Amino acid sequence: MYRQAGQVLQRGGRRAFSSSASRKSYDDTIKNLLIHKDTRVLCQGLTGKTGTFHVREALAYGTNMVGGVRISGLPIFGSVAEAVKETRPDATAIENEIGLIVCITEGIPQADEIRVRTSPTSLWSPAASRSPASLVLTAPEASIVSRSGTLTYEAVAQTTDVGLGQSLCVGIGGDPFPGTQHVDVIKVFLDDPNTEGIVIIGEIGGSMEEEAAEYLLKYNKTRKNPKPVVGFIAGRTAPPGRRMGHAGAIIAGGKGAAIDKVRALEAAGAIVTNSPAKLGSEMLKAMKAAGLV
């Protein structure tokens, strides 16, 4: 039985959202991104200062933490297998086939990313923004996907300031080989009834934004009532061949330029702003034009 409204699969102490030995595609795990306030989270490696800080922050924001270091009453376990059996988490590690991992580590090797994409697990994601349960979410709702953690926060602030809320915010990270990519998240947003508008934030390097634009062109723009899409691409003035912050933010081999990403998104019907400060106002304008506000 797959996870629906807080229910999760259980097999011999192992739990997952949509894990299966016969799973054929990474796409089968994408639904795991639809977290909610009751998603049960187990954290690993919390004995250090940084780990403790992140757990405290997650608890403060309302995340349903179920295990880790003995902090705020949470139990500590000798292994992930034991923790899985005792706490029935929805989100932590690959080996025990838990359906969703939130990982803020940058620079994960490509070989490891390939292994993730052949496992019954969704990785959300190298350098992703922390805490899946936030108290700032209100309606009407836009959903946000971004390669930049800082710009994710900015998009939340901008949409909140104009009276909009956020259904789901996904920071996919700035690595060149992220576990979850723009197009993966866009698939979730288009099928999610709580997502009324989409904010997509990208940057120079790679082709993830173009792939997401192609999907939007095919499956959103052709709808009777397309969901409004607002985008921003960072690095428009970046020189070719120079990495700009994130490992994946580099124009190489004539590919990954900001202008190509902007054109692709605009062709898919997105409104692409030249400043992140306009994300909220442009989304509000697009939602009004669509009759959603």
Residues carrying an active site annotation? 246
CB contact set of 263 (below 8 Å; sequence gap of 6+): none
The token pair that represents 188 in the structure block: 């979730």
CB 232 within 8 A of CB 190: no
For residues 109 and 126, give the distance between their C-alpha atoms in angstroms, rounded to a whole number: 10
Round to the nearest angstrom and report the end-to-end CA distance of the chain: 37
Location of structure tokens 């996919």: 172
Q: How far is CA 115 from the centre of its chain?
A: 19
For residues 172 and 181, give the distance between their C-alpha atoms in angstroms, rounded to a whole number: 6
CB contact set of 221 (below 8 Å; sequence gap of 6+): 268, 269
